[in-house]
Structure formats: C-alpha cells, structure tokens
C-alpha cells in the first residue's frame, strides 16, 4: 500500500511542475535583450500604444532583462524623445501546444515591488526563441479584422 501511495505522490509531483520545454525556454530567455524592431501585419502608419505604455518608436531600441527564477524583469525605454526610464514586470511562459512548440507569454506591468495597480496583463505568443533571438506576436482586432503586431528581440 505504501508503494502505491508513493507512486501516486511521485506522479502528482511531476505532473504539477512546468514542462521540460518551458523550463528550457526560461533558461534561454534569461538575461538581457534588445527589442530591435516592431512590425505590423498590415501596411500603413498606425498609432499603437504597446503594453499600455508608449509607441512603437519608443519601444524600438528598448533594453529588456528577464529573471526567470522569480519570473520578473525590467525594460528600459531609451529613446530620448520619449518618456525614458525603467519599467518593471512579471511574466509567465505557458506551453499552449506541445506538438507545435507554441507558447503563450503572459506579461504584467508592475511597480518595483512587483505589485500591479490595475492587475492588467498582456497575452502574447512567443513564436520563436533561440539563444540569440526571440519573437513575440500579439493579435488584436481592428474593424473586425485581425491585426498582428510582431516584436523582434536580439540578445
């Protein structure tokens, strides 16, 4: 009876943890990144405010730091014509489909103590991740049609 109980306990412990793929992704994402470019699925000039913070022009060139052991990070807006400075966030990587390797990246802006005034977060697709590059996509709807924002990072 004890052996059966131990087996079920072991299965329960392993099934509750993050998948190996998510753990590996957290190892890769750890460190400093630069948001090099932001593109849109539609051609044209758009006035988009990203992460309820600032514009595409301000985000391009921003520097990001991910600390996966406590799921926190910061990004710094560096463009001098923008409101510069460090912003804090918490994040989670969730595996959406093990067959395709697609992930959801959940990001919630916070204060320096990792508290959120609004408790509002953003769900992005982590569509590509390697040792030197990462890509996020967010699909929103404009006039009932999908509009995809793609953010490209380099380490």
Give the number of other Cβ atoms within 10 Å of residue 64's Cβ.
20
Residues with Cβ within 8 Å of residue 101, at least 6 apart in sequence? 21
**In the CATH scheme, what architecture does the domain 20-154 have?**
Beta Barrel (2.40)
* Cα 123 → chain centroid: 8
- Region 47-57: mean pLDDT is 93
As given in the structure block, the two tokens for residue 101 are: 């390797």
Per residue in 59-102, pLDDT tens? Answer: 999 999 999 999 999 999 999 999 999 999 999 988 776 665 66
Q: What is the pLDDT of residue 101?
A: 62
CA distances from 105 to 27, 52, 128, 137 (A): 15, 16, 11, 9
d(CA 56, CA 50): 7
d(CA 22, CA 95): 7
Q: Please give the mean pLDDT across all residues of the chain.
A: 84
**Among 27, 30, 31, 79, which residue's Cα sits nearest to residue 53?**
79
* Stated pTM of the model: 0.79
């Amino acid at each position: 009876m004890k052996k059966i109980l131990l087996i079920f306990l072991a299965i329960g412990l392993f099934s509750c943890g993050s998948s190996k793929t998510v753990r590996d992704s957290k190892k890769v994402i750890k460190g400093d990144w630069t948001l090099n470019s932001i593109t849109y699925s539609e051609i044209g000039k758009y006035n988009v405010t990203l992460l309820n913070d600032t514009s595409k022009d301000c985000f391009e060139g921003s520097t990001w730091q991910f600390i996966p052991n406590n799921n926190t990070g910061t990004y710094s807006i560096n463009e001098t014509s923008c409101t510069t400075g460090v912003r804090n966030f918490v994040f989670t990587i969730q595996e959406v489909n093990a067959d395709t390797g697609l992930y959801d990246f959940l990001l919630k802006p916070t204060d320096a103590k990792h508290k959120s005034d609004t408790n509002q977060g953003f769900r992005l697709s982590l569509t590509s991740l390697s040792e030197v590059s990462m890509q996020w996509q967010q699909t929103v709807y404009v006039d009932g049609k999908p509009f995809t924002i793609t953010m490209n990072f380099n380490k």
